[in-house]
A and B are shown apart, each in its own frame.
Chain A
Amino acid sequence: MSVEDVHEVVSRIYEDVSSQSLERGDVLINTLHAIQDHYGNFIPIEAAEALKEVTGTPLSRIYEVLTFYTMFATHKRGKHVIRVCKSLPCHVTGGQAVIDSLKYRLEIDFGETTEDGLFTLEETSCLGLCGVSPVMMINDEAYGNLTPERVSEIIDEIVSRERSESL
């Protein structure tokens, strides 16, 4: 990506986010969300630098914030970010088996991305779907009542959808 492009994109995103805000300042977190959505699951260093240029916010402050919150990433993540719930309600209803099967099936640990760049596995605190535990989210979609078998089906579905799209 060229520097001019990034600058233009980030500046447009920032304007967009601030214009929707009641208070024009202090929209750093909402802006970072929008930048991350734009670049697909992470915030490239170039975009953070452009944000510094656009807003005058020191880069240290931008990084201080973006590394504090678990949903922001500074490195490229997979196309599908799997967030599996590690809270107690999921734990007592078979969550460990779900986590084991995800790690085994994808051959990655928490915080890692599959070689084909399709999946990143992350743990999350409670997703508020405890009535259908164990649960996970894949990007914005939630899946409940999970079992190792159901996990396999869901991953298979995504993989085959991706394959047919790339053909």
Chain B
Amino acid sequence: MPVVENTVLICAGGACISAGEKSVKSVFEETLKKYSLDGVVRVVETGCMGACDLGPILVIYPEGVFYQKITAESAARIVEEHILKGRVVEELLYKGDSGEMKEKPQEELPFFTEQVKIATRNLGVIDPLSIDEYIARDGYFALHKVLFEIGPDDVVEILKKSELKGRGGAGFPTWMKWDLTKKAKGETKYIICNADEGDPGAFMDRAVLEGDPHTIVEAMTIAARVVGAQKGFVYVRAEYPLAIERLTHAMKTAREYGFLGESILGTDFSFDLEIRIGAGAFVCGEETALINSIEGRRGIPRVKPPFPASKGLWEKPTLLNNVETYANIPPIIINGGEWFSQYGVEGSRGTKVFALAGNVKNTGLVEVPMGITLRKLIYEIGGGVPGGKKLKAIQTGGPSGGCIPLELIDTPITYDNMKKLGTIIGSGGMIVMDEDSCMVDVAKYFLEFTVEESCGQCTPCRDGTRRMLEILEKITEGEGSMNDLQLLKDLGENIMATSLCGLGQTAPQPVISTMRYFWDEYEAHVKQGKCPAKKCKTLMRVVIDKEKCVGCTACARVCPVDAISGSVRKPHEIDPEICTRCGSCLAVCRFGAISKVSP
């Protein structure tokens, strides 16, 4: 067997794949073959490395040189230069703010160095299709410990000490759920993993399922042993085909190795897993709606109580946790509860994975100790807002959350603090918005989402959110009145008080929260018929300054709807009837000739 001289890790997380990872990998491997290097260079596709904006990413070991934004062409160059001749391809390295090259940003940039990876410990490090690599990183050691060294009560005690709370949104203490299900009476019990990640802006569960599927298999098997369950279901949304594929593979190999199925590790304990696939319904992320969906019904929430711990799937006691919560379990069991709770602050212990998205320089996933300030997360780790623009607000918690304005970004992120600010941590999505975002438009956007996704079972959510949306539409068209603002508030409070499930009870939150912090913007729409951010379509126009326009045609070429006309080297013009106000032309004009104006 030839000696492997280089190991090349290519990030095959969902984002890198959608940015062209597959062609990068195939060209890289073909070029290796061309130079007969395929025997000495090992290419491994890993899970998400976290830095989505740099993708596709490729790291070459033993040196650890980090190449970013690789294309098919540059993949061939890396083989010819780096692998064959031992010369680092400088143009493909990460460049810092002042243009300096960094060979190993993983050892320098706060985006990487500030992280404490527990739930995401294996992402970007191992091949998700290799059970051996998972085992080499202490995989299935926790299961072994639970089967042979400690009892179910010890596990609950460890979780209690860890102070781990559910990472899916509600933040319920995990040990309590386990304990309740364990104590529930009944021969038949079930374990469920909620992998129906749906909050806009959150994608950590996707990354864990795709990048480290064995951790879910191991954690659910441990959970089954502790509460006394025989069968488990992973409910994955159909939008994540790659996650389904890799999890299916992980389950198969785990069975072959004796970690899943009959007589696990030679004991009398048996447990098996099955994947159930969603079909495009956000509400199925609500635990009782999810249970209905597994039972093959419409995904509509049930009245609680009874809670799933006593009456869940097929009316049997059911333990239900989300993906990130499960991913924390094996390392907590190996290292102990105190080890986990050393991170974070009072009331919010451990680490949390945050997804940075929107108008932020370093988009992607970061796992950091809880209690970190928003400023540190957005500026130091996230690199701030791109394009020299000003931060306006951060939306957290998806459609159940709210917006945090710039003035409050020194707040440490804890469950309590977020609640005080009128939002929630939720599943950890952080949508960063710059000054070009209109907060009334953002509120309207979330209401459109809620109206679309409401299951229709209860009146406040089904009809109430629709009425709220109609009012918001009126306001964004400059037709609203001050009475409408009051009505919006009253309606919101009413829906929150009377909806059946958690989603309905929090649906008005984005409106209430933006009204709390951005009342001026609402007033400007209503009183002056103006959108201060010049975002709302009917309240703005995009125009070309004839004096400044040189007729370079750049704007006409990017206009998605051909609304711009004019001959070469002559000033161009935008037809306001056709123009959709998307702003594409603004971004490409090099002469500052295009601007948004209020009518």
Contact = CB atoms under 8 A, between A and B. Distances in A.
Interface of A: 20-23, 25-30, 32-33, 64-65, 68-72, 83, 86-89, 91-94, 96-98, 100-101, 104-105, 124-133, 135, 137, 140-145, 147-149, 151
Given A94-B583, A97-B560, A142-B17, A130 B363 contact: yes
Interface string B241-261: 100000000000000000000
Contacts of B314: 23, 26
Contacts of A126: 198-203
Interface stretch (B172-180, B275-283, B478-486): B275-283
Given A131-B203, A131-B364, A144 B15 contact: yes
Contacts of A104: 560-562
Nearest to A122: B280
Nearest to B238: A71
Given A33-B238, A93-B358, A128 B206 contact: yes
Sort A-B residue pairs by CB-CB distance and give the 9 closest, nearest first. A131-B52, A101-B560, A69-B279, A87-B200, A130-B357, A28-B296, A144-B18, A97-B582, A71-B280
A68 B299 contact: yes
A100 B560 contact: yes
B561 A65 contact: no
A33 B296 contact: no
A145 B584 CA distance: 14
A14 to B, nearest CB: 12
Contacts of A23: 231, 274, 314
Scoring B205, B239, B295 by chain A CB atoms within 10 A of each residue's CB, the highest score goes to B239
A87 B277 contact: no
Interface residues of B, number: 75
A132 B282 contact: no
B198 A125 contact: yes
A65 B295 CA distance: 11
B298 interface: yes
B279 A131 contact: no
B584 A94 contact: yes
B327 to A, nearest CB: 16
A38 to B, nearest CB: 15
Contacts, number: 187
Given A27-B296, A100-B580, A125 B282 contact: yes
A100 B542 CA distance: 16
A23 B559 CA distance: 53
B433 A26 contact: no
14 contacts: A21-B274, A23-B231, A33-B277, A64-B298, A65-B298, A72-B279, A97-B582, A101-B560, A126-B198, A126-B201, A127-B239, A130-B201, A142-B14, A149-B558
A132 B19 contact: yes
A135 B437 CA distance: 19
A88 B200 contact: yes
Contacts of A20: 274
A25 B199 CA distance: 30
Interface string B444-460: 01101100110100000
